[in-house]
Amino acid sequence: MKNYLFVLKEGSPKYKQIYEQFKSLIEQGNVKADEQLPSIRQLAESLQVSRNTTLTAYNQLVAEGYIRGEGRKGFFVNPLEPSLYEEPPILPNKKKLEKKSSIRVNFRTDVVDQSHFPLKRWRRIANQILTLPESYRYGEPFGEISLREQIATYLLQSRGVRTDENAIIIGSSTQQILINLGHILQEDYSSIIVEDPGFDGAREAFQFHYFALEYLPVNETGVDLSQLNQMNSGLIYVTPSHHSPYGVSMTIQQRQTLIKWANKIQGYIIEDDYDSEFRYTEQPFPALASIDATRVIYLGNFSKSFLPGLRISYMVLPDPLLTRYKKQFRNFESSTSIFSQLTMAKFMENGEWSRHIKRMRLVYKRKMTFLVSLLKKHFGQKISIIGEQSGLYVLIKLYLRVSEEWLIERAFSNGVSVRPTSIYFIKNHSEHPIIKIGFSGLSFDELEDGVNLLKQAWL
């Protein structure tokens, strides 16, 4: 059985890209009739997508007759008439090749400021950790106690969340934690409410367990809770401190409404507090879990605020769920490096973490202010800027008669990489295209260069 190394890009549903690439291989004869395709699980693992994504792609291919399912044997390619799909060779278009340019400025959102990373301090502590005997063993299944203790202290001081180390679960990423959590929650729930627009990675995790999704509308001014009591699910996933992607924060009244709703129906709120450290106009808002920890599942991570590649996220569970979670996963090994956990624990214990956050809040605030001033200067009334109060990116809504795809392609042809926002929207679509640009990993010169190039591309 072949391995299919598909390239999945941003901006288009993953299932659609898998479907289209298989369809092309079959039509071109690169996959032969009666050849067996990888199983749903195998393909999902090789492409690092959910099984629901690969299942949707296969179902579309089955529906159109390209492949067939044979019970437990798997999926097989159906024969096609090759002459129908033969095309004359296409000569390279020199003009298109000339237009394609290398990226000069990448407004990516998955990086941090490397120039201000405390490399020497981190390396010194890491070297100390390597001398400890505990660095040379498998980790605790729910995370190292030293790190869980430090997180508990940090959450109380910075987010107002009262918990102890035993209620904290360490994982490698928010998605991985949500997948594990979904396994527990699906015993009592078959659906979940998610924000629209909202974090697509969370939706993927919930769909992994085939949760039905209900959608809570969010706009630039905030979340709409007016229909909450008419919804069927007893679960809700929200990003209350810094909505993804709009960047708005829930008011105290909205937070109280959510807590009352959860208590009334005995449901749970999953609070993703993914980058609450970086708020530039006021102090970070208290977490939902600080109001009522009995009905809130709190999620946090070190990816946005410290180092994406560290792969440390964490979850605080209410007692009933904690007992069930630990019973279910007590025989599973930790998915997070013990070395990274021990190093981060010592980093926090030495006060380096709090110093880093204070320093980076100032750095990112200056970058945010500079970027917003450049955008306003060059684009004026042709755009509105969304989310400039917090976070590591801004959204640009453009009042031009163009599509999101056109904006991204024009930027790329001019040497700039920007991100789409259509992936976050389900039903509650924006009337105008919105582009996401991150600034955390760029210098001031790169920010200025990037905005100048965007102006040349779009105006």
Model confidence at 398: pLDDT above 80? yes
Lowest-pLDDT range, 113-117, 162-166, 192-196, 283-287? 283-287
What average pLDDT does the segment 419-445 reach? 95
CA 408 and chain centroid, separation: 20
Residue 41, both tokens: 């699980």
What phi, psi does 443 have (nearest 5°)?
-80, 170
Instruction: Report the mean per-residue pLDDT for the chain.
Output: 91
The CATH architecture that domain 119-351 belongs to is 3-Layer(aba) Sandwich (3.40)
Q: What is the pTM of this model?
A: 0.77
Model confidence at 86: pLDDT above 70? no
Element (H, E) at 207: helix 200-208
Nearest CA-CA partner of 210 in 321, 7, 55: 55
Element (H, E) at 105: strand 105-106
How far apart CA 384 and CA 43 sit, in angstroms, is: 41
The pLDDT value recorded for residue 32 is: 86
What average pLDDT does the segment 382-387 reach? 96
The pLDDT value recorded for residue 11 is: 75
Is beta strand 235-238 parallel, antiparallel or unpaired with respect to 268-272? Answer: parallel
What average pLDDT does the segment 229-258 reach? 94
What band does 30 get if pLDDT is binned at 50, 70 and 90? confident
According to DSSP H, which parts of 380-426 are helical?
A: 404-413
Model confidence at 198: pLDDT above 60? yes
The pLDDT value recorded for residue 72 is: 84
26: exposed, middle or buried (Cβ count in 10 Å: 0-12, 13-18, 19+): buried
Q: In what order do the strands lie in the sheet with 419-420?
A: 383-386, 393-398, 434-438, 419-420
What average pLDDT does the segment 333-357 reach? 96
List CB contacts of 288: < 8 A, sequence separation 6 or more.
238, 240, 250, 255, 258, 259, 269, 271, 296, 298
Q: What angle do CA 137, 138, 141 make, to 5 degrees?
A: 145
Residue 384, both tokens: 């509105």
Is beta strand 434-438 parallel, antiparallel or unpaired with respect to 393-398? Answer: antiparallel
The structure tokens 């810094």 sit at 242
250: exposed, middle or buried (Cβ count in 10 Å: 0-12, 13-18, 19+): buried
> String of b and e for 387-403 (b: at least 16 CB within 10 Å)?
bbbbbbbbbbbbeeeee
How far apart CA 11 and CA 412 sit, in angstroms, is: 13
Bigger pLDDT: 211 vs 37: 211
The pLDDT value recorded for residue 43 is: 86
Domain boundaries, the chain: 14-90, 99-115+355-458, 119-351
How far apart CA 19 and CA 139 sit, in angstroms, is: 39
The pLDDT value recorded for residue 96 is: 47
What phi, psi does 230 have (nearest 5°)?
-90, -5
CATH for 14-90, options being 1.20.120.420, 3.30.1340.30, 3.40.50.970, 1.10.10.10: 1.10.10.10
In CATH terms, the fold of domain 99-115+355-458 is: Aspartate Aminotransferase, domain 1 (3.90.1150)
Residue 92, both tokens: 């390279």
How far apart CA 156 and CA 158 sit, in angstroms, is: 6
